Amino acid sequence: MNSTIITIGDELLIGQVIDTNSAFIAQRMNEIGIAIERRIAISDSLSAIQQTILEAWKTSPILIMTGGLGPTKDDITKKALADLFQVGFKRDEPTYLHVKSFFEARKTPFLSVNEAQADIPENAEVLFNARGTAPGMWFDIDGKILICMPGVPYEMEYILHTHVIEKLQRRFNLPALYYAYIQTCGLGESFLAKKISQIEDRLSAGIGLAYLPSPMAVNLRLSGQAEHRQEIDLAAAAIQSELSDYIYGISKTPIEELVYHRLKETNQTITLVESCTGGFISHLLTNISGSSDVYIGGWNVYTNPFKTKQLNIPEATIREHTAVSEECARELLEKALDKTNANYAIAVVGYLEKYEENKPHAYIAYGSSEDIRTKKVDLFQPRVKAKEAIAKVALVSLYREFLI
């Protein structure tokens, strides 16, 4: 079974908005056994929408479309579909009441263009959108499926998870799939692939091994139909044995959530001191609901004077060893632990770009007041990705060496 993803919007074509919807949809479709044949971005025009649908349906029985469902004049997807299928519009009463209450709750006028959000082509099935005012739509035309969702990512994600995945599984009687996940850090994709090449070569034709790289990390996903579960588990165990020095998890759970859950389970706390990452590790932790149970606070000490003022780092330490040094990272960690009485801490300092004679690198200090460890990380990524890399190594190091 294959599908085509169609994203609508001039803002996508000119690069004003980055298309994250396609990646999200593709990942979810892959998980239920639907392959993506093409991803197409098109403009906000009646002809582009209609011609793209007709053309894509020649090779893909499932089309998944996002965008063009809002209340403004450039949102013309519904009109394009009604014209294409030669149908009129019907008003969906649950959507109308939802949209009406949406505006009443915000004490803003309920305009006719907002009322029209509840109007959909007569041959469409509504996919209720609890997160916004534009409903999704499901069309079943001569055995071919067209799914339309808003372009707002968190609305699209809600509709996909709440309605679309289950409907597709029922409609096409998709086989049950089974997955095994292995999370690694510290070994590049090519080196990792070489270490497990013999295991990969022995996999049956019905089992896939995907490499999912990110800064300083590569996640592996073994997948196949449920009947291959035993072989997938055996292959996963073999890979875990081969890569034991680099594995930190066997799920899809991000490292910051693994750290959070482990600290919460053991009733322990953490504090953070960030220089080169500028608060990025704090950002990851505080994205988690309930993170205040474990993260008691920290410092974003970007400049040297701020380091000495906020955490009383001796100027002699910076003068003798520089601010980007193992010694400075260690002292920042010690001061933070003294001030907070947290069970654990992470401190990071570094150069994200070449500075004088220094190549990009970072020092990470992590641990407890009884056991402080440090690690140097050489950086090869652009500035923003380098921050992600440092955060990943810091959290993985603490998790692997202290929490499990």
pLDDT tens for 108-128 read 999 898 999 999 999 999 999
* 175 pLDDT more than 90: no
What CATH homologous superfamily does 2-171 map to? MoaB/Mog-like domain (3.40.980.10)
- Local confidence band at 286 (pLDDT 50, 70, 90 cut-offs): very high
The dotted CATH code for 255-403 is: 3.90.950.20
* 101 pLDDT more than 90: yes
Q: Find out whether 207 and 223 touch, Cβ atoms under 8 Å.
A: yes
pLDDT tens for 224-247 read 999 999 999 999 999 999 999 999
The domain defined by 177-249 carries CATH number 3.30.70.2860: yes
State the pLDDT at residue 192. 95
State the pLDDT at residue 163. 97
Q: Find out whether 334 and 347 touch, Cβ atoms under 8 Å.
A: no
pLDDT tens for 130-171 read 999 999 999 999 999 999 999 999 999 999 999 999 999 999
- Local confidence band at 296 (pLDDT 50, 70, 90 cut-offs): very high
Helices 46-56 and 77-85, packing angle to 10 deg: 60
First to last CA, the chain: 41
pLDDT tens for 53-96 read 999 999 999 999 999 998 888 889 999 999 999 999 999 999 99
Q: In what order do the strands lie in the sheet with 372-378?
A: 295-300, 270-274, 344-351, 361-367, 372-378
* 176 pLDDT more than 90: no
pLDDT tens for 318-360 read 999 999 999 999 999 999 999 999 999 999 999 999 999 999 9
Residue boundaries of the structural domains of the chain: 2-171, 177-249, 255-403
User: What's the CA gap between 49 and 87, in Å, rounded?
Assistant: 16
The pTM assigned to this predicted structure is 0.86
Strands 136-141 and 125-127, bridge-based pairing: antiparallel
State the pLDDT at residue 342. 98
Average pLDDT, integer, range 368-378: 97
Q: Give 370's contacts (C-beta < 8 A, 6+ positions apart).
A: none
State the pLDDT at residue 206. 87
pLDDT, mean over the chain = 95
Q: Find out whether 156 and 8 touch, Cβ atoms under 8 Å.
A: no
Distances in Å between the Cα of 63 and the Cα atoms of 76, 114, 121, 164 are 18, 27, 17, 12
Tokens 């450039």, residue located: 74
State the pLDDT at residue 105. 92
Q: Find out whether 238 and 207 touch, Cβ atoms under 8 Å.
A: no
pLDDT tens for 258-281 read 999 999 999 999 999 999 999 999
State the pLDDT at residue 178. 93
User: What's the CA gap between 164 and 304, in Å, rounded?
Assistant: 52
